[in-house]
Chain A
Amino acid sequence: MYDSGKIISGLIIFLIIATAPIWYTAASGGTTKGPEPEIITTEKQCVRDTDYMRHDHMELLNEWRDQVVRGDDRVYTTASGRKFEKSLSNTCMSCHPNKSEFCDRCHNYMGVDPYCWSCHIEPKGGSR
């Protein structure tokens, strides 16, 4: 075989470069991190269970929007019987006023940019 030395060292260099991102994260301290939304309310519970909220809050917001605007139905009752106004700015943002450390932290990570804020008012000091 000709040039086996060159080929093998070439292959090794290629492998190192191709797997570099893995080595890099390993070297710079552990696994890649997900977003860490900050909860600052003293309340214990969201309007639905945390798992549902984490995955499907946009569905809930869409439901609220249609029920309020098209169905004149503005009262949301939680599983435990607590009543809330179905409102993005007045309800969600009263418990989560830290928009940039909460909503935006996840959204930036996922690359989503809800257009709601071009009309709905952001809580003060929570701009992105």
Chain B
Amino acid sequence: MKVRRRTFIKAAGLTALSVAGGKAVAQRYDAESWLSTGGLKAKRWAMVIDLRKCNEQHGCTDCINACHHTHNVPKFEDRKHEIKWVWKDSFEHAFIEQENEHIPEELKRSHVLMLCNHCDNPPCVSVCPTQSTWKREEDGIVMMDWHRCIGCRYCVVACPYGSRSFNWVDPREHISEINPDFPTRTKGVVEKCTFCEERLAKGKLPACVEACRKRFAGGEDTTPALIFGDLEDPNSEVRQLLKANFTIRRKPGLGTEPEVYYIV
């Protein structure tokens, strides 16, 4: 096809315009389209974390930063007050009883990304006296209703993974930059990751997954370390990964059936 000068100039102009205006337009479109099209749906949300890939990005905290900014998670110097939705710890702390003295050195030194496991049998749910936390039947997310939480902390004790944090002090003063789109919490309530159910409802992937995708987007291998999808769909990316790789879960002996899987 021959490109005439006028067509070329038009196309070039349009491209320049869309680059300049692209972000604003996309955001406005996003902000409204989900109202009619609905959000992302699954029968069973699950996550696969590729620890090899994650640890190749030495010391990367993009996912943690994205999550904690999106959800107004406060930052405390004092470990006693720490609030965490997504965090990292050593392999031996993450996989108690699955480590041994002679595992590969890089595994021993590796850092494991952790978050709420959105268990199939969540022990936190059965102990909650106000049903502030429950497992959503449609897609398995272990939900939080911050309006109902009375701060009894039974769930904090019941969770074997340390996924729940209690606000001992008012978190507001410890959030460096408040995201106006998501409420904070107050002193006296428990909080944790919700698999970004508020983003899924608006057709967006979880903030941590999106951040990880961005991180890998420029590289040779664009498959990120965090993969999110429907466990009940045999064609989903998570199922493909689970099929092709050996994966482990945290504290499998407890029968909680975590829905976060690790490729080690």
* Chain A interface (Cβ < 8 Å from any Cβ of B): 65, 69-70, 72, 74-75, 83-85, 89-90, 118-121, 123-124
Nearest B residue to A115 via CB reads B186
Interchain Cβ contacts within 8 Å, total number: 38
With contact pairs A89-B181, A119-B183, A119-B186 given, residues A65 and B147 touching in the complex (Cβ less than 8 Å): yes
A65-B147, A119-B186 known, 5 other contacts, Cβ within 8 Å = A69-B145, A69-B147, A72-B138, A74-B202, A85-B35
Q: List 17 A-B contacts (CB under 8 A).
A: A69-B145, A69-B146, A69-B147, A70-B143, A70-B145, A72-B138, A72-B197, A75-B35, A83-B35, A89-B181, A119-B186, A121-B178, A121-B180, A121-B183, A121-B184, A123-B180, A124-B180
* Chain B interface (Cβ < 8 Å from any Cβ of A): 35-36, 136, 138, 143, 145-147, 178, 180-186, 197, 201-202
Rounded to whole angstroms, the CA-CA distance of A124 and B179 in the bound complex is: 12
A119 CB → nearest B CB, Å = 4
Nearest B residue to A76 via CB reads B35
Rounded to whole angstroms, the CA-CA distance of A14 and B138 in the bound complex is: 71
Nearest B residue to A73 via CB reads B201
Residues of B within 8 A of A69 (CB): 143, 145-147
Q: Which of A72, A83, A84, A123: most chain B CB closer than 10 A? A: A72
Nearest A residue to B187 via CB reads A118
Dominant secondary structure of chain B at its interface with chain A: loop
Q: Would A120 and B183 count as touching, CB distance under 8 A? A: yes
Dominant secondary structure of chain A at its interface with chain B: mixed
B69 CB → nearest A CB, Å = 14
Rounded to whole angstroms, the CA-CA distance of A24 and B202 in the bound complex is: 57
With contact pairs A119-B186, A120-B183 given, residues A72 and B35 touching in the complex (Cβ less than 8 Å): no
Residues of B within 8 A of A120 (CB): 183
B156 CB → nearest A CB, Å = 19
With contact pairs A72-B136, A72-B138, A118-B186 given, residues A89 and B147 touching in the complex (Cβ less than 8 Å): no
A118 CB → nearest B CB, Å = 5
Rounded to whole angstroms, the CA-CA distance of A125 and B184 in the bound complex is: 18
Q: Would A119 and B184 count as touching, CB distance under 8 A? A: yes
Residues of B within 8 A of A124 (CB): 180
Q: Which of A69, A75, A118, A120: most chain B CB closer than 10 A? A: A69
Nearest A residue to B183 via CB reads A119
Rounded to whole angstroms, the CA-CA distance of A119 and B72 in the bound complex is: 10
Q: Would A119 and B180 count as touching, CB distance under 8 A? A: no
Nearest A residue to B178 via CB reads A121
Residues of A within 8 A of B138 (CB): 72
